Amino acid sequence: MRKLRLRYAKRGRLRFTSHRDIARAFERALRRAHVPMAYSQGFNPHPKISWIGAAPTGVASEAEYVEIQLVEPVEPDELVAMLDRATPPGLDVLEAVVADGGGLADRVEASRWRIELEGVTPDTLRDAVARTMAQPVVEVERLTKHGMRTIDARAAMVSATVVSGPPPGGVTCGILEVVVRQTTPAVRPDDVLSALRVVADLEPPVPAKATRMAQGRLDDAGALADPLAPDRAFGRTSLTDLP
């Protein structure tokens, strides 16, 4: 069996789609594209697919990752083209590489999120972010299937920067880029917004728009390393080159 790693995006209206529905759409696309998938054994075999840190419902992403196992060689670029024709609009496969071994999950330690807060000025957002980052602990509440849970959002926030530049759509908008460490439970963009509300009483007049821009391993400077980079450095672009 051969393993490929893919980066895909969740865009547009699909940001409101649950991960379960995204997974079903992806599996249907694999079948429509006639990708030679490897399957599990037993009475109810499933395609061998491993999802890595799926984005929560309600947010978009430019950096989602999945691993698939095949029983026949397929060129990575060919696989991207095959899936591009079979996936619904908004579920876009951007890149595929041959896995060089090890686990992809071990290369994902944090996410970089872009959060657009329409109706909030950059100066107001900058002040709220500075006050929040100055706190050692910021506890927020999240409703889970087991009831309300209190988590420390500040502990997961590695860095937070207010991005300058022209506002999207020409409206007043504060744009926050925040790097959030993977924790258990995971701290999500809405938890970051809850932290800003708890510390600085920041309440956007309209719902914020969040997009995951990157995932990866943190370096000493707090930047994220591309999780597919080691696979590219492996130097094998074709599955037929593998032993």
68/121 same-domain check: no
Residue 167: per-residue pLDDT: 66
Residue 241: per-residue pLDDT: 37
Tally of domains in the chain: 2
Instruction: Convert the pLDDT of each residue in 135-158 to its tens digit.
Output: 999 999 988 777 888 999 999 999
CATH number at residue 33: 3.30.70.580
Which residues neighbour 88 within 8 Å (Cβ) at sequence distance 6 or greater? 14, 25, 29
Bridge partners of 61, per DSSP, are: 10, 212
131/197 same-domain check: yes
Lowest mean pLDDT among 173-182, 189-198, 230-239: 230-239
CATH number at residue 143: 3.30.70
CA angle 26, 144, 18 (to 5 degrees): 15
Q: Are 8 and 66 in contact (CB under 8 A)?
A: yes
At residue 31, does pLDDT exceed 50?
yes
pTM of the prediction?
A: 0.89
69/153 same-domain check: no
Query: What confidence category does residue 172 fall into, taking pLDDT thresholds of 50, 70 and 90?
Result: confident
114/214 same-domain check: yes
Q: Which residue has the tokens 């889970």?
A: 144
35/74 same-domain check: yes
Residue % of the chain over a pLDDT of 90? 71
CA angle 133, 138, 144 (to 5 degrees): 130
Q: Are 151 and 174 in contact (CB under 8 A)?
A: no
At residue 238, does pLDDT exceed 80?
no
Cα separation of 63 and 8, whole Å? 6
Residue 130, CA distances (Å) to 29, 153, 196, 230 in order? 44, 15, 10, 35
Element (H, E) at 86: helix 76-86
At residue 30, does pLDDT exceed 50?
yes
155/142 same-domain check: yes
Residue length of the chain? 243
81/122 same-domain check: no
Average per-residue pLDDT for the chain: 89
Its domain, for residue 100, covers 2-106+227-241
Look at residue 71 and give its three-state secondary structure: coil
At residue 243, does pLDDT exceed 60?
no
Element (H, E) at 130: helix 122-133
Lowest mean pLDDT among 65-79, 208-222, 227-241: 227-241
Which residues neighbour 71 within 8 Å (Cβ) at sequence distance 6 or greater? 1, 2, 36, 37, 38
Cα separation of 193 and 27, whole Å? 33
116/201 same-domain check: yes
Residue 102: per-residue pLDDT: 76
119/216 same-domain check: yes
139/211 same-domain check: yes
31/86 same-domain check: yes
71/163 same-domain check: no
